[in-house]
A and B are shown apart, each in its own frame.
Chain A
């Protein structure tokens, strides 16, 4: 069956095409200018950051080499053979490393929980609709901003000097950073609640604490928990490098393996970290989906 499309007369078509070209042209010119500006900024930034594509291309072989080298044994009975032929030898430190991974998880857990509790309390003070005093509210907001802008490793560096080496400064650094990050998210949640339950509690003479407990918390508890779980996921990654500055966990051993060129150990520890992160991601994703399900029913 032949299909035919109707054809407009040429003069009509011409005006329509011209109108279309004009309408599209304006946005297109604007887009082109923004892209040009972006490219200019990137070129300047590239100079400042000493980006050198030639060096990258000439050395990219080294990257492949590195990945290749960490995948084979460089000493012992299996020299030159892939690590997977002797998993037992590859994972020789599994007992030690899994204890360190457990420490890493516990650092992330303790940091997240302490930070989440602090953020929970502070978010009510920082929220516009519940804040008790404007000066207090702004002070809390600035404090949270400071906590989340300064990277956790900087806190860890300072805390290692104040508290000594070990996991404690790592936990505190993560807790402070978590307080800042979650405090902001929690505060936004609190500002977006339905105010009718709050009015109901006020009208029946509830105190500020009772209002928060019975009108606000039930509305946001599931979302709070979801955000906290997401943060835990991020903190597991953060805790895996705390050891770089001496603040506990698996990072110390990884840094040592990379710096001292223990190639097979590097891949073994990396595999353990990646596996742990994946398992945690999966588990928290499940939990978060269950939480959103709970919220739907409530």
Chain B
């Protein structure tokens, strides 16, 4: 059997694809029975692989059902909740702050949020940089030190930013400074781990070059390791500034400065127009920061992918 499909040159695109499918589909399926008879082993597939797939899916779904049962899930509640949400959405339009004074407060809080993210992330990067070297296997050979540095960083990373914020509020009081310290603490753990992994992945050849010319251990780090890792580290820090702008919007919920305080207040007092305005402001701020950081990242490292 032969099928002729005519497509009008390059002008085809999606419609050409559709035409090819329409013409070839039935033709290909017509031969299926004969093909199946000739090559049964291809159509049968691997039975164990299929059974494994089914078992994994069944396990996942089973666990989900158990989770939902344990967490008091009910369709009635979902239904009434969605109806409520729809009602809130109608109340959110148009976004408004009520008064201009309040809008000024919002803008100031948003600035605070961005500042918290920036200062917190950079402080964490500066503090974590030397620790990254301590936790890297190829720089500090001692197994013991390496192990403790890694576990220490894991412990710090295991505590969420909001928990750090609560702890720092006990130390420096309410306000954005506690937020800076909270972001700094949780990112210190994350950066330490990332930096040490980056350092472990460096190319050994420049290091050997420095050693062969009689360079000291410090010269090795300065001239062989640093030039390799700095662009990567800069990319990672920029990525974290971006993602911390998002986290910094919520630490205000526990009183650590930024726009989160107004947001949680507006939600709790059911001022939906203010809620939608605040969310819009956050979306715009994050988009702007993303753009700026993409520009800087491109200037520093070009179009390379960063593992974070």
Contacts and interface: CB of A to CB of B under 8 A. Distances in A.
A66 B119 contact: no
Most buried by B among A42, A60, A113, A237: A237
Nearest to B155: A274
Interface string B228-258: 0000000000000000001101100110010
Contacts of A50: 175-177, 257
Interface in A143-160: 146, 149-151, 153-154, 157-159
B26 A205 contact: yes
B140 interface: no
Contacts of A255: 166
Contacts of A150: 279, 282-283
Q: Binding site of B, secondary structure by majority: helix, strand, loop or mixed? A: helix
B192 to A, nearest CB: 14
B114 interface: yes
Contacts of A102: 70
Contacts of B247: 151
Interface residues of A, number: 66
Contacts, number: 185
A42 B241 CA distance: 12
Contacts of A237: 158, 160
A106 B17 CA distance: 44
A168 B275 CA distance: 22
Nearest to B214: A3
Contact of B68 (A110, A159, A244): A110
A202 B122 CA distance: 50
A207 interface: yes
B284 to A, nearest CB: 10
Contact of B171 (A66, A103, A109): A66
A270 B71 contact: no
A107 interface: yes
Contacts of A168: 71-73, 77-78, 81
A154 B175 contact: no
Contact of B71 (A66, A248, A254): A248
B301 interface: no
Contacts of B27: 205
B163 A254 contact: yes
B119 A151 contact: no
Contact of B250 (A149, A154, A258, A281): A154
B267 A161 contact: yes
17 contacts: A49-B112, A49-B116, A49-B179, A51-B177, A109-B67, A151-B246, A161-B84, A164-B77, A168-B71, A202-B20, A204-B24, A204-B28, A206-B21, A258-B167, A270-B163, A277-B157, A278-B158
Given A161-B267, A277-B157, 16 more contacts: A41-B118, A45-B115, A63-B171, A103-B71, A154-B250, A158-B267, A161-B84, A161-B88, A166-B72, A202-B20, A204-B24, A205-B20, A258-B163, A270-B159, A278-B158, A281-B154
